[in-house]
Structure formats: structure tokens, C-alpha cells
Amino acid sequence: MNRLEPRQAAQWLMERDSFLVLTHIRPDGDTLGSAAALCAILRKLGKRAAMLPNPGTTGTYADYVADYWAGAEERFDHVVAVDIATHGLFFPEEEPYKGKVELCIDHHPSNEFYAENVCLDAERASCGEIILEISRFLCALDDEIATLLYIAVSTDTGCFVYGNTTAATHQAAAELLQYSTRYREVNKRCFRTKSFKRLRLEAMLVENMELFQEGTIAVVSVSCQMMRELNATEQDAEDLAAFAGQVEGVKVSATLRELEEGKTTKISLRTDPNVLNATKTCALLGGGGHVAASGATVQLPLPQAKEAILNAIAAIQQEG
Amino acid sequence: MNRLEPRQAAQWLMERDSFLVLTHIRPDGDTLGSAAALCAILRKLGKRAAMLPNPGTTGTYADYVADYWAGAEERFDHVVAVDIATHGLFFPEEEPYKGKVELCIDHHPSNEFYAENVCLDAERASCGEIILEISRFLCALDDEIATLLYIAVSTDTGCFVYGNTTAATHQAAAELLQYSTRYREVNKRCFRTKSFKRLRLEAMLVENMELFQEGTIAVVSVSCQMMRELNATEQDAEDLAAFAGQVEGVKVSATLRELEEGKTTKISLRTDPNVLNATKTCALLGGGGHVAASGATVQLPLPQAKEAILNAIAAIQQEG
């Protein structure tokens, strides 16, 4: 495995001509915006580049990245993974590419170095910031590239509000806004619009929210039953993990999402890192992520998953 | 009246030694953060500077600006107004200073040039951006000044999401984040914290939300009974009128707040002004306001108030 600086990653891309770009399961604005921007950059250089269609892509993002999906019959010479920390985050259609990724561009400290070449900067709030760095060695920004990177940079920071936001994030945004004519539309669609179903889902979370340790820990659950009852889509449930953390006084919030009824639960943990290390806590359940935002998928029904994460939190708290 | 560039405003400040700084009624993060930052800058230069205590200051901001309130007995030689477009926005204690403001620093296009000297840049998203420009000619940034200016810059753009956000806003933020050690705390307190009661109130609005005309009109109600049930305060109910407007597809939202049980209802109307003129609609019920945000108080119980606003909307729609 080789570690590449952005300049070297750009060089690696420059020397090749045809790329399939992978994104992670349950794709967010960072993996999709970064991957689409990378394709736009490579196409601007006259190369072939497309994204493996990600079936989890929700409507808002689909509108922006639709031009970059690979056709079913298309074949490419090189495989690039964007914002994917581990093979565990490959979606089923990406199975054949496990062990075949030649370049991974990522910002997760938990990256498992499964790729031949890895361009990793764990100081960055989003993969979009790294793609922007790489782009400097390849081509000038334009409206399309800047808008896609703005989607990546803004969504991974909750529009510059999450703790991962740094001066570098704002520097990237300042640069992108000089080229993007559509950033206001992105802001309205991604951050200032909620579906009625989404609001009903949030209302249900408020109803089932449990507070522990004098209101410093909040646990909420999203069951399959709730999703069915509301006829809610994946898009309606997007980034629900941030919801419980906004309650006044809450330092640690766990959002339990039932993936398979009575069987599989995805736990998303958001923490004030001064209070609890989310990465370590989720590692106890076989997961990983960032110090303030990690996750784990466990083969447990909702009530047992709740117990498991509360136990993991207690264990890490005891470690001090 | 003289128009001053930031450099000239800095010069004007440099030549004087003692300043009283005014903020606007119902103060927000921009007027308070900008005024406090200006005081911090002037004090760093060895000058005397303080803000006239603004009784409308809410808890979150009070914590950051408390060091800058003028004592009751203190006297200053020069009066500076920050983020105040007109005398109409002076709060009662500022009455004696009408006609006596020597320097007004502002970003509102509606500024009425009531001051002797005006440093106005209507292209700026916040007054904080202008104070930052002025500061360049006076002293280096530090944690205190940068944090206060970050409060100003971030709150006036809803944390970089409103349509007024530009590349210059992000450039300012990038610079401020290099000095502020507390911007994450500001983000958390100003943009990511809601009381549990507030969330329960929002959940109740979702439950009682009614949609009309193919989901383009939303009506929600806040009854005295709901407020009692939650033991909610006025602060918990602050700006609830904006809540229903975020629903996907909604162009017109009416929030009905029962003021006196079964008797008096305050109607707040928020509209896409291309779809409905809120001022005209509320005028039919004896109210008024802005084209996209108006209100009326009616002597009707909630259900009749709902009928009244729906009828008023229909009447204005028919006028075309």
C-alpha cells in the first residue's frame, strides 16, 4: 500500500485514462458529490470516468449526480473509491471490486488501507476538500465541479455547523462559491427543506426519546414499523443521527435504526469528544468512524442494540 | 452626512478615545457580536469603549457580550451605532442618542443615513464582515475579537445557509476560525441546541398541521392548552412561525397562536411572495407586515381564526 499526497494522486490519475468510481453504501452528499466531481474533473481532461450506480442515492442528490452513472455495459480500466473507509461500506453491487481498488481517496481516520494507493487526509472535514486539493493539479474549477464539491463540503459539515468544520472548510467554500451558480439552490434543498414525512419521523423520535445520566445521553429509535407507518423513504430518514444531539444538555446521542426487523440495527453515535470518544465506543461493537461521530451495525433487535450501546458507552466511560 | 470606507472609519476611530456603542432593538447576533467586537478592538488600542445595555439581549448572546456593557454612571465622548438602519430600531433607552450618532456602521440597504458618518456596505451579509474589514487597519485579531465577529457573521446567515451568504462570507469565516478557539461552542449553542420542550412543541405542530391546495398551504396551531401541557416558556415558542414553511412544497404557511383561551388568536403568515402577498392578506384581518411575513391578531377562537385566514388567503388569490 502506498500513501499518496494530493499532488501524487493527481499524477496517478493523469497517467491513466479510464476510471470507475465507487461510493459508499447509504450514500451521503460527500461520497456522491466528491465522486461526481472527480468524474467531472477527469472528463474535462478528456478521460472516461463514471460512478457505479449507487442504488441508495436519494432524490436530492440524484438530480446532481445523474450524469455520472456508468452504463450497465460500460467497462473501465481502473477502480477508484471515494470516501469509503473500509470494504464493509461497499454496497452489494460493489462486491466484485473488493481487493481491486487501485486508488482510495478518503478523510476517515478509520480508513483500513484496503486499496493499492491511498490518498488520506484525516484532518479534512470532507472528502470534497481533498478532491478540491487534487483538482488544483488537474484543471480549473467550473460551475459543475464547484457545485458538486460544494454539495460534498457543505453536507458533511451540516452546512458548516458540525465540529469538524475548520478554517480550511470555509476556505474551500469561499473558493467554490466563486464558481458555483447553484449553491443557493443546494442550500435550500439540502438544509432548508424537509418532507412532511421527515417532520413526522422527527416528531416520533421526540416521542420515543429516552434520556440517561441526568439528560446528558439521549437514545432514539427508528423502527421498520415507523418507516412503514409513515411510508417513509431513505431520504426521509437521512442524517437522522444528528437529531437527538440538538437537545439542550445532551452530550452523547445514539440513534438506533432498525435495518432488518428484529434482527439488524445500525447504531449512529454522536458525541462531544471531550465527554466520550465515539470511535472507541463503536469499536466495542465492531464499528468505527470519527471521534465525535461513529457508527456500528449489530445483529441485534432494537431493544438489545440499545442495551449494547449503553453498555459500550459505560465501558468507555469507566476506562476514563 | 459623510460616507466612509472601512479604512476611513478605522482612521476616525483611531483619532478618538472614548466610545458608546449602540445596538438595535430585539438584538440579534450580528448587532451584539459586531458591537462587542468593536469594543474589544478599541479597548485593545487602549481606548474606552462600551455598549449601552440592551434589555432585549437573550441568554446565549448575553454570555458573550456581558464584558462590554457600560456601567450606569459611565460617560463617553462619541456615539457609534452598529447594524442599526434607522432611528426606528433604537430601543427606548437609546432615545437620548437620536440625532447624536457620529458614526454608523451598517450593511442594510434600507439605511436612512441618520448619522454624521456612515460606513455602509450593503453587499455584505452581516455587519460583522464590515467590522472585520475595519479591524484590519487597527489591530490583529485575537480569540476574543474573532469569536465575537464569528457570532455576528454566522448568525446573520443562519450559519452560512441563507441566500445572503457569499464567497466573502466564507472568506471572513475562514479568517476568524484561525483565531477563535470557541467557534464550535458558538455553533453548538446558536444553531444546534433546542430545548426538549421546544422539540415537543414542534412535534405537536407536526401532529396538528393541516395541508391545503395540494400541499402548498400549511396551517398549524399553538393553543394555550399545549403551552400549559408542556410547561413551555415564550423562549420555547420563539420564531415558531418559521416552522411550517420548511415543509417541502409549502408556499404559504399560517401559524395560529392562541393568546387568550377561546378568545384571541395571533396569526403569523409566511409566504413565497411570488405566490401570495402576505401584507395584503393580513390587512384583510386588520394586520400588516412585510410582503413575505405578516401577522394579524383577531378576536376569535382558534378554529374560527383558521377559517378567517383561509378565507383571506382565498380572497387575495381570487384578486390574482
Residue B290 has pLDDT above 90, yes or no: no
Q: Which of A174, A193, A248 sits opposite B195 (nearest CB)?
A: A248
**What 3-state class would DSSP assign to B3?**
strand
How do strand B293-298 and strand B264-271 relate by DSSP bridges?
antiparallel
DSSP bridge partners of B212: B217
Cα angle vertex A37, ends A34, A41, to 5°? 135
Residue B320 has pLDDT above 80, yes or no: no
Confirm if A279 and A291 have CB atoms less than 8 A apart. Answer: yes
Q: Is B26 on the interface with A (CB under 8 A)?
A: no
Residues in chain A: 320
Q: Is A275 on the interface with B (CB under 8 A)?
A: no
Q: Which of B162, B171, B193 sits opposite A174 (nearest CB)?
A: B171
Q: Which of B174, B192, B248 sits opposite A246 (nearest CB)?
A: B192
* Distance (Å, whole) CA B18 – CA A49: 63
For residue A320, the model assigns a pLDDT of 73
Mean pLDDT lowest among A206-210, B134-138, B272-276, B298-302: B272-276
Distance in Å, alpha carbon of B229 to nearest chain A alpha carbon: 14
pLDDT tens-place string over residues A37-60? 999 999 999 999 999 999 999 888
For residue B289, the model assigns a pLDDT of 80
Residue range B242-266: average pLDDT?
95
Neighboring chain A residues of B247 at a CB cutoff of 8 Å: 193-196, 199
Which B residues 133-162 touch A at CB under 8 Å? 159-162
For residue A68, the model assigns a pLDDT of 98
For residue B221, the model assigns a pLDDT of 97
**B282: nearest Cα among B273, A75, A320:** B273
Neighboring chain A residues of B248 at a CB cutoff of 8 Å: 193-196
Most B CBs within 10 A among A160, A185, A210, A247, hence the mutation to make, goes to A160
Q: Which of B168, B188, B206 sits opposite A199 (nearest CB)?
A: B206
pLDDT tens-place string over residues B201-250? 999 999 999 999 999 999 999 999 999 999 998 878 887 988 999 999 99
Name residues whose C-beta falls within 8 Å of residue B171's C-beta, 6 or more positions apart in sequence.
A170, A171, A174
DSSP bridge partners of A312: none
Query: What percent of chain A has pLDDT above 70?
Result: 100
The reply to whether residue A196 touches residue B247, judged by beta carbons under 8 angstroms, is yes
pLDDT tens-place string over residues A135-179? 999 999 999 999 999 999 999 999 999 989 999 999 999 999 999
Residues in chain B: 320
pLDDT band at A234, cuts 50/70/90? confident
Q: Is A178 on the interface with B (CB under 8 A)?
A: yes
Please state, in angstroms and as integers, the Cα–Cα distance from residue A134 to each residue in A13, A102, B51, following that order. 10, 16, 47
pTM of structure: 0.86
The reply to whether residue A177 touches residue B167, judged by beta carbons under 8 angstroms, is yes
pLDDT band at B259, cuts 50/70/90? very high
Q: Is A174 on the interface with B (CB under 8 A)?
A: yes
The reply to whether residue B162 touches residue A187, judged by beta carbons under 8 angstroms, is yes
Q: Which residue on chain B is closest to A163 by alpha carbon?
A: B184
For residue B10, the model assigns a pLDDT of 98
Most B CBs within 10 A among A170, A214, A248, hence the mutation to make, goes to A170
Q: Which of B162, B166, B202 sits opposite A177 (nearest CB)?
A: B166
For residue B163, the model assigns a pLDDT of 84
Distance in Å, alpha carbon of A141 to nearest chain B alpha carbon: 15
Residue range B165-188: average pLDDT?
97
pLDDT band at B288, cuts 50/70/90? confident
**What 3-state class would DSSP assign to B237?**
coil
Neighboring chain A residues of B157 at a CB cutoff of 8 Å: none
Q: Indicate the residue type of B70.
A: A
For residue A232, the model assigns a pLDDT of 95
The CB-based long-range contact list for B220-223 (8 Å cut-off, 24+ gap) reads: B220/B244, B220/B253, B220/B254, B220/B255, B220/B256, B221/B255, B221/B256, B221/B257, B221/B258, B221/B302, B221/B306, B222/B255, B222/B256, B222/B257, B222/B258, B223/B258, B223/B261, B223/B302
The reply to whether residue B177 touches residue A166, judged by beta carbons under 8 angstroms, is yes
- Sequence-ordered alpha helix ranges (H) in B136-209: 143-155, 167-177, 183-191, 196-208
Residue B33 has pLDDT above 80, yes or no: yes
pLDDT tens-place string over residues A251-272? 999 999 999 999 999 999 999 9
Q: Is B206 on the interface with A (CB under 8 A)?
A: yes
Q: Which residue on chain B is closest to A250 by alpha carbon?
A: B193
CB atoms within 10 A of CB B96: 10
Residue range A55-76: average pLDDT?
95
pLDDT tens-place string over residues A23-39? 999 999 999 999 999 99
Cα angle vertex A169, ends A163, A173, to 5°? 130
**A269: nearest Cα among A283, A259, A255, A258:** A255
pLDDT band at A188, cuts 50/70/90? confident
For residue A141, the model assigns a pLDDT of 98
